[in-house]
């Protein structure tokens, strides 16, 4: 209209060409094929054609093997506390529990005494 195009258009879809749905579908298809190929390579070749429920049952040994491998891998990364760390944290927990036990005992006893005193005051 004025003889120039804005550098910052408000309506980006007019300046950027959007891919048609068919191209997106083709790309998605290619990605699913790539995932299938990767899964076949990881499982050691092309899987035998087995019906749905039986295929799930047939994959349990492979899935368990992978699970056990993952567990061992993660457990090797665990940093276990030393005996001294366990003893010191246990002592801290015991002291904290004892402190709060005494605190709540004193608080409960105090409020119980005050409640009894107030009720006896208004009873007469």
Position 51 pLDDT exceeds 60: yes
Tell me 10's DSSP state: S
In this structure, is residue 105 part of a structural domain?
yes
Q: What is the pLDDT of residue 26?
A: 52
Choose between 55 and 108: higher pLDDT: 108
In this structure, is residue 56 part of a structural domain?
no
Rounded Cα distance between 64 and 13, Å, is 49
In this structure, is residue 54 part of a structural domain?
no
Pair 106, 74 in one domain: no
Pair 94, 112 in one domain: yes
Q: Looking at the chain, how many residues does it have?
A: 124
Region 82-103: what's the mean pLDDT?
98
Cα dihedral 50, 55, 57, 61 in deg (nearest 10) = 100
Rounded Cα distance between 44 and 62, Å, is 11
Pair 69, 27 in one domain: yes
Assign 56 a pLDDT band (cuts: 50, 70, 90).
Answer: confident
- Which domain, by its residues, includes 22? 18-46+62-78
Pair 25, 66 in one domain: yes
Pair 67, 24 in one domain: yes
Position 15 pLDDT exceeds 60: no
In this structure, is residue 5 part of a structural domain?
no
Number of domains in the chain: 2
* pTM of the predicted protein model: 0.42
Choose between 48 and 107: higher pLDDT: 107
Percentage of the chain exceeding pLDDT 90: 47
Assign 12 a pLDDT band (cuts: 50, 70, 90).
Answer: low
Position 8 pLDDT exceeds 90: no
In this structure, is residue 115 part of a structural domain?
yes
In this structure, is residue 69 part of a structural domain?
yes
Q: What is the pLDDT of residue 119?
A: 93
């Amino acid at each position: 209209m004025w003889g120039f195009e804005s550098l910052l258009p408000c309506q980006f879809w007019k300046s950027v060409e959007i891919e048609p749905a068919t191209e997106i579908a083709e790309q998605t298809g290619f990605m699913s094929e790539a995932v299938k190929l990767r899964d076949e390579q990881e499982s050691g070749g092309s899987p035998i054609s087995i019906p749905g429920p039986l295929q799930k049952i047939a994959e349990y040994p492979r899935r368990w093997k992978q699970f056990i491998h993952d567990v061992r891998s993660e457990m090797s990364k665990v940093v276990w506390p030393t005996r001294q760390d366990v003893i010191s944290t246990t002592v801290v927990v015991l002291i904290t529990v004892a402190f709060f036990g005494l605190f709540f005992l004193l608080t409960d006893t105090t409020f119980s005494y005050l409640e009894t005193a107030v009720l006896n005051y208004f009873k007469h």
